[in-house]
Amino acid sequence: MKTGPRRSGGAEPGREADLVRAAQGGDQAAFAEIVRHFQRPVYRVAYALTRNAADADDLAQETFVRAYQAIGRFRVGEPLYPWLSRIAVNLAYSLFRRRRRRPETPIEPLVEAGRQFGVEDDPAEHAAEAERRARLAEAFGLLSPEHQAVLTLRVVEDMTYEEIARSLNVPVGTVMSRLSRARTELRARFRARSGEGP
């Protein structure tokens, strides 16, 4: 089943297994290499789910701390990234629960809007585009954590259905139906907030 190119990064499968084995043996340099291989995709997931740089930083770091603690139980030969993304997603769920509300409006899109100001040919158009994306991010923040997670892994990470299923510990069929519902829900939320369709 083709589901688009991978954007996850990471090490070659053979190298990945070697690193895991070494890390399980207590080799901290090997674990540091694992961190370097996966820091970007883990941060991407963390940011997409929190939409806040400080939270994303915390969540990404904590993901690797939990991975370090549990790597002894990781089965060598399995792909690492779905496991890491699962930890990140579950940490994000915990964060959502602790807050008992949705993440705040992010400041980064606003900063980005200003950062690119003057570079674009048409600042007004750029501002409108940034505004639209901010609204879409807000609508995304109103989705259930499960819908946010499945959309993040598919849209931001380009993960295959099988990888998403492994990451979220659900059947592939559930991934398919959950993605469909998440997209429909996002469209409805966005329309309700902005009065238009994306």
Q: Does 109 bind another protein (CB under 8 A)?
A: yes
Which residue, 143, 144, 117, is CA-closest to 129?
A: 117
Tell me whether residue 12 or residue 128 sits nearer to another protein (CB atom): 128
User: Which one of 11, 59, 80, 165 is in contact with another protein (CB under 8 A)?
Assistant: 59
Tokens linked to 124: 């007004």
Nearest distance, CB of residue 14 and another protein, angstroms: 18
- Residue 52's contacts (CB-CB under 8 Å, 6 or more residues apart) are 103, 104, 106, 107, 108
Tell me whether residue 14 or residue 124 sits nearer to another protein (CB atom): 124
Q: Does 149 bind another protein (CB under 8 A)?
A: no
Considering only residues 115 to 134 of the shown chain, the ones binding another protein according to CB under 8 A are 115, 117-119, 123-124, 127, 132-134
Considering only residues 169 to 188 of the shown chain, the ones binding another protein according to CB under 8 A are 169, 176-177, 179-181, 183-184, 186-187
Tell me whether residue 13 or residue 198 sits nearer to another protein (CB atom): 198
Q: Does 102 bind another protein (CB under 8 A)?
A: no
Which residue, 117, 100, 102, 105, is CA-closest to 147?
A: 102
Which residue, 141, 153, 67, 129, is CA-closest to 101?
A: 141
Alpha helices in 71-122 (DSSP H): 80-99, 108-115
Please state, in angstroms and as integers, the Cα–Cα distance from residue 162 to each residue in 3, 27, 36, 159, 196, following that order: 10, 30, 24, 8, 33
How many residues in total does the chain contain?
Answer: 198
Tell me whether residue 65 or residue 192 sits nearer to another protein (CB atom): 65
x/- contact string, 8-47, with another protein (CB under 8 A)? Answer: ---------------xxxx-x---x--xx--xx--xx--x
